[in-house]
Amino acid sequence: MSTEIVDLVCGRCQTVVTLSIDLDAYHAWENGMLIQDAFPTYTINEREMIMTRTCGDCWDDMWDNETEEEFAAGVFE
């Protein structure tokens, strides 16, 4: 297993998250594996940083006012 230490920077607040990325898992995700299957031990926030470069606090700020029903229906203010 080959790993690489990466610093991921949130695009909104510039928070830096440092992760040890399993390169085989990363390539599997890039090729269509669900991120939760590729990185089952990572937290939701860590996986979100990999996917969107958005930290957990900023994600919460962006979606805090949306209900699950609005989110599922694609209704955003």
Apex 51 CA angle, 46 and 56, nearest 5: 40
Judge contact between 10 and 49, C-beta under 8 A.
yes
What does the pLDDT look like over 53-73, one tens digit per residue?
A: 999 999 888 877 666 666 666
Is residue 76 pLDDT above 60, yes or no?
Answer: no
Per-residue pLDDT, 61 = 86
Counting Cα atoms < 13 Å in the Cβ hemisphere of 77 gives 6
Domain extent listing, the chain:
3-67
Q: How many helices (H) and strands (E) does the chain have?
A: 5, 2
**Full-model pTM:** 0.77
Residues, the chain, total? 77
Q: Quick one: angle between helices 56-63 and 44-52, nearest 10?
A: 80
Structure confidence at residue 63 (pLDDT): 77
pLDDT in tens, 6-61: 999 999 999 999 999 999 999 999 999 999 999 999 999 999 999 999 999 998 88
